[in-house]
Amino acid sequence: ELKVEQNPLFLSMQEGKNYTIYCNYSTTSDRLYWYRQDPGKSLESLFVLLSNGAVKQEGRLMASLDTKARLSTLHITAAVHDLSATYFCAVDISGTYKYIFGTGTRLKVLA
């Protein structure tokens, strides 16, 4: 069964600092998605990563995918308070289009 693990689970960081969230998964997949969820709200799509070596950037966030290592990273550059949210990665199970979500990383950016 596919397992998707994120670390850290909780992250408290100062504004202006850089940090990386990691998403590890246990079986073959070449489709991975990142989502953001604000408290009490629904999930918003951030990035779609569809191949080994894919890199996407939007503002202060950059996501990458290494399918051989079964690892995706979400890098935060010069964090700002508005980035405070919970971030989820979601992995497609071997081409089934059935997505398994990670445990989530709750990010809090302190002013």
Partner 1 sequence: DAGVTQSPTHLIKTRGQQVTLRCSPKSGHDTVSWYQQALGQGPQFIFQYYEEEERQRGNFPDRFSGHQFPNYSSELNVNALLLGDSALYLCASSLFRTDNSPLHFGNGTRLTVT
Kindly tell me which residue out of 29, 85, 88, 91 binds partner 1, with binding defined by CB under 8 A: 88
Does residue 72 bind partner 1 (CB under 8 A)?
Answer: no
Between CA 89 and CA 99 the distance in angstroms is 10
**Count of positions on this chain that bind partner 1 (CB under 8 A):** 22
Q: Check binding of 26 to partner 1 (CB under 8 A).
A: no
84 binds partner 1 (CB under 8 A): no
Report d(CA 2, CA 9) in Å as an integer.
Answer: 19
Residue length of the chain = 111
3-state secondary structure 10-30: EEEEECCCCEEEEEEECCCCC
Kindly tell me which residue out of 45, 52, 57, 94 binds partner 1, with binding defined by CB under 8 A: 45
Near partner 1 by CB under 8 A: residue from 3, 17, 41, 81 = 41
The structure tokens 């700002």 sit at 80
- State which residue, 80 or 106, has the beta carbon closest to partner 1: 106
What is the distance between the alpha carbons of residues 64 and 25, in angstroms, rounded to a whole number?
14
Task: Indicate whether 57 belongs to the interface with partner 1 (CB under 8 A).
Answer: no
Which residues lie near partner 1 (CB under 8 A)?
4, 31, 33, 35, 41-45, 48, 50, 88, 90, 96-104
